[in-house]
């Protein structure tokens, strides 16, 4: 390193500036955690991929104040829903809708969430996250690569290089988040192995322009169309429903086929054959290889270094589970880092990141592979019996997306033997599950908010409007521990802070009695629940909070 190389001190260093790294930056910034993000590429992604943002991801983006910005960036595909499968897109018989409404905006979803699916490609989503992260104080340095890192008992020392100038900077951080992709140099450096079947299939993602294709597609506004004809197969994705498209072509990578074999002429011929229109105008604009795999890291952390996103897990793209799971990794980790760094929690709280997120990744990756089998994803030739996945054929998506639970970790009163993903939705306030959604309003004020809008910056205690003891206990415990602990009395009485919509019962929704209480974490998961009154609510709440935060 040069003698005059810079030195930089920061609480958190994030390595990787794609969807997961940017999300980590945004979440940390919202919580007031100073951090540095380095990304070796000069800018955000230019390739339209990773477009499905599920309900839970949109909920966390709602909490981070960017949900509407993301929907605006995704406006061109706002009317696209569902997954179509057909051997010939140009034929009169359009094939089968595997999923008719991928956004699931029907009554079941409205009951569970204030948000909905959003089809926003990575090249449109990353600039939104980058801008929001900078607004929250994030120090984001693109074109900057981490060369090395070492950790000790007190922190991590890394050397990063500006690739344009060649100038090195030594960064000293309390913690490091590795969001550096499936081939993660950080994971390799830590010696963390992976489990799972490994590579599933290989594709070349081809961007192209075609004005004639819109006429063939017609009014079928799909998110993706699996083309399964005998001459050529692949997955077709609209970019603007008019002229710009993406086609995922199967790539026999493991049989020696080279990327160079995908010439522009060959790619155009494959697309025409798969669509079923030999005379279709096709102009190739780009190509990017990608490998679908099922791998999960054996550990999510070592010392002061944490894995998130593809560095921690690789999943089949069917169902868009991979990026969503990674963004939710970052959301889980961010509040814990913030709590430890500001002294609210003991360092042992960070051990719960692996305890909670690793089982979710294992269950979700298995479901993603099973869904690829169910949908006969082009290019995927699974081993016999691979369809025996989570949730049954073509079903069970919502419990995986929204209903997963933490059976161990920063939760109290859970059953460790329960499955991480339930067979059916059960968001009724049980510890370890995402807190229930219900609409509320502030007495005397207009508008409404979801219970989920209460969770981001602190622990939250919900109780009934008549349960004065729990509300008072929250104030006392917050003072004793010098922490932020917001308490809300919900009901129709004069002492209520929030009122439910007519006919709604907050206690029934949260699985407790009107005199009970529910403690919710900053990430919106239930940490602890009291079934009713307690002879000493301050002592009960103090014990719960100190245990949750690992305050020895």
Sign, Cα dihedral of 372, 374, 378, 380: positive
Q: What is the CA radius of gyration of the chain?
A: 24
Domains of the chain: 439-548 (3.40.30.120)
**For 133-160, b where at least 16 C-beta lie within 10 A, e where not — what string?**
beebebbbebbbbbeebebeeebbbbbb
Strands, E assignment, 436-543: 439-441, 449-450, 459-464, 485-490, 499-500, 517-520, 526-530
Tens of pLDDT, residues 137-156: 999 999 999 999 999 999 99
CB–CB of 241/74 below 8 Å?
Answer: no
Token pair, residue 512, equals 């407790």
Q: Which residues pair with 177 in a beta bridge?
A: 14, 306
Tens place of pLDDT for every residue, the chain, 552 residues? 444 457 899 999 999 999 999 999 999 999 999 999 999 999 998 877 777 899 999 999 999 999 999 999 999 998 888 889 999 898 866 678 887 765 544 445 678 999 999 999 899 999 999 999 999 999 999 999 999 999 999 999 999 999 999 999 999 999 999 999 999 999 999 999 999 999 888 999 999 999 999 999 998 999 999 999 889 999 999 999 999 999 999 999 888 999 999 999 999 999 999 999 999 999 999 999 988 899 999 999 999 999 999 999 999 887 778 899 999 999 999 999 999 999 999 999 999 999 999 999 999 999 888 877 766 677 777 665 544 443 433 446 889 999 999 999 999 999 999 999 998 898 999 999 999 999 999 987 778 999 999 999 999 999 999 889 999 999 999 999 999 999 999 998 888 999 999 889 999 999 999 999 999 999 999 999 999 999 999 999 999 999 999 997
Other CB atoms within a 10 A radius of the CB of residue 105 amount to: 12
Tens of pLDDT, residues 411-428: 999 999 999 999 889 899
CB–CB of 331/259 below 8 Å?
Answer: no
φ, ψ for residue 364 (rounded to 5)?
A: -70, -40
What's the mean pLDDT when you consider all of the chain? 91
Cβ-proximal residues to 323 (8 Å cutoff; 6+ apart), any chain: 19, 20, 50, 52, 53, 57, 122, 309
pTM of the entire predicted model: 0.93
What pLDDT does residue 480 have? Answer: 97
Residue from 423, 490, 427, 457 nearest 55 by CA:
427
What pLDDT does residue 344 have? Answer: 97
**In whole angstroms, what is the distance from residue 77 CA to residue 336 CA?**
35
Residue from 221, 236, 216 nearest 99 by CA:
221
Query: Please, what is the end-to-end C-alpha distance for the chain in angstroms?
Result: 42
**In whole angstroms, what is the distance from residue 65 CA to residue 67 CA?**
6
Other CB atoms within a 10 A radius of the CB of residue 347 amount to: 12
Q: How many CA atoms lie within 13 A of 545 on its CB side?
A: 30
**In whole angstroms, what is the distance from residue 314 CA to residue 372 CA?**
14
What pLDDT does residue 384 have? Answer: 55
Look at residue 137 and give its three-state secondary structure: coil
Task: Name the helix (H) or strand (E) containing 235.
Answer: strand 233-238
What pLDDT does residue 1 have? Answer: 40
**In whole angstroms, what is the distance from residue 325 CA to residue 331 CA?**
10
What pLDDT does residue 165 have? Answer: 97
**In whole angstroms, what is the distance from residue 511 CA to residue 504 CA?**
13
> How distant is the alpha carbon of residue 240 from its chain centre?
24
DSSP string, 172-200: EEEEEEE---TT-HHHHHHT--EEEEEEE
């Amino acid at each position: 390193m040069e003698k005059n190389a810079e030195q930089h001190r920061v609480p958190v260093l994030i390595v990787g500036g794609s969807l997961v790294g940017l999300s980590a930056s945004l979440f940390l910034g919202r919580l007031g955690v100073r951090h540095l993000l380095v990304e070796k590429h000069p800018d955000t992604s230019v390739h339209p991929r990773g477009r499905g943002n599920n309900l839970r991801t949109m909920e966390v983006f709602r909490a981070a104040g960017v949900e509407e910005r993301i929907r605006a960036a995704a406006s061109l595909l706002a009317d696209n829903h569902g997954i179509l499968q057909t051997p010939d897109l140009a034929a009169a018989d359009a094939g089968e809708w595997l999923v008719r409404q991928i956004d699931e905006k029907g009554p079941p979803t409205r009951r569970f969430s204030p948000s909905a699916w959003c089809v926003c490609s990575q090249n449109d989503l990353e600039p939104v996250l980058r801008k929001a992260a900078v607004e929250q104080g994030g120090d984001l340095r693109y074109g900057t690569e981490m060369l090395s890192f070492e950790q000790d008992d007190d922190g991590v020392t890394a050397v990063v290089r500006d690739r344009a100038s060649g100038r090195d900077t030594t960064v000293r951080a309390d913690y490091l988040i590795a969001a550096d992709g499936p081939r993660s140099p950080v994971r390799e450096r830590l010696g963390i192995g992976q489990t799972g079947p490994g590579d599933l299939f290989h594709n070349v993602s081809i961007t192209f322009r075609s004005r004639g294709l819109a006429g063939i597609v017609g009014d079928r506004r799909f998110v993706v169309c699996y083309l399964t004809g005998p001459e050529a197969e692949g997955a077709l994705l609209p970019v603007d429903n008019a002229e710009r498209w993406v086609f995922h072509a199967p790539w026999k990578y493991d049989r020696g086929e080279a990327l160079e074999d995908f010439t522009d002429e060959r790619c155009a011929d494959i697309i025409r054959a798969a669509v079923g229109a030999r005379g279709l105008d096709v102009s190739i604009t780009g190509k990017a290889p990608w490998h679908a795999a099922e791998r999960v890291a054996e550990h999510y952390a070592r010392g002061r270094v944490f894995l998130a996103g593809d560095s921690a897990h690789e999943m089949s793209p069917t169902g868009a589970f991979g990026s969503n799971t990674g963004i939710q990794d970052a959301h889980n980790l961010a509040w814990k880092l913030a709590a430890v760094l500001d002294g609210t929690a003991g360092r042992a709280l960070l051990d719960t990141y692996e305890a909670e997120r690793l089982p979710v990744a294992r269950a979700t990756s298995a479901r993603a592979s099973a869904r690829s089998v169910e949908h006969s994803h082009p290019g995927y030739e699974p081993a016999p019996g691979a369809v025996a996945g989570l949730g049954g054929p073509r079903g069970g998506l919502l419990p995986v997306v929204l209903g997963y639970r933490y059976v161990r970790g920063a939760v109290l009163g859970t059953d460790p033997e329960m499955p991480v993903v339930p067979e059916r939705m059960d968001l009724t306030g049980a510890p370890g599950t995402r807190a229930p959604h219900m609409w509320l309003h502030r007495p005397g004020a207009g508008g409404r908010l979801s219970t989920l809008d209460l969770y981001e910056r602190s622990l939250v205690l919900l109780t009934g409007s008549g349960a004065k003891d729990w509300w008072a206990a929250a104030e006392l415990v917050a003072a004793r521990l010098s922490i932020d602990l917001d308490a809300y009395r919900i009901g129709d009485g004069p002492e209520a802070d929030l009122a439910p919509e007519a006919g709604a019962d907050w206690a029934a929704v949260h699985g407790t009695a009107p005199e009970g209480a529910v403690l919710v974490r900053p990430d919106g998961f239930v940490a602890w629940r009291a079934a009713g009154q307690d002879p000493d609510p301050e002592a009960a709440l103090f014990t719960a909070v100190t245990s949750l935060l690992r305050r020895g």
